[in-house]
Amino acid sequence: MEDFGKFIATKKSIADKLNEHPIPMLTCKDGFTMSVQVGKYLYCEPKIDTAPYYSKVEVGFPSKEESLLMPYVEDINHPTETVYGYVPVYIIEQVIDKHGGLK
């Protein structure tokens, strides 16, 4: 997996140009999905819309509970129906690798 901080910045830029908001769901090869979003009003770093790199991202609504994300969960009782704030990109890379890479 290429550096996810750059990857998501590129995805954000493309989504903005195509007027796709939010960024489309990420799907892993094993079927696991999650929303990964960045922008000035979201739980990410930096909190701007046009960064060339993001060090932390907002994750939302994973298709199943993922132990690597749980330290960042907003609603522990509903792990597939909530957001995960300020998740470091290295954790996202680990989640993607654990689920076989991106589809």
Q: What is the pLDDT of residues 46-81, one digit of tens each?
A: 999 989 999 999 999 999 999 999 999 999 999 999
State how far the Cα of 40 lies from the Cα of 79, in Å rounded to an integer: 24
State whether residue 93 is helix, strand or coil.
helix
Whether the CA torsion 16, 91, 35, 101 is positive or negative: it is: positive
The pLDDT score that the predictor gives to residue 2 is: 59
Amino acid at site 103: K
Locate 32 and state its tokens: 């696991």
Locate 101 and state its tokens: 């890479």
Locate 24 and state its tokens: 């489309």
- Indicate the average pLDDT of the chain: 94
pTM of the model: 0.92
pLDDT at 14 over 60: yes
pLDDT at 1 over 60: no
Contact 64, 70 (CB under 8 A): no
Q: Please tell me which residue, 25 or 18, carries the higher pLDDT value.
A: 25
The pLDDT score that the predictor gives to residue 52 is: 92
Amino acid at site 72: Y
pLDDT mean over 10-27: 88
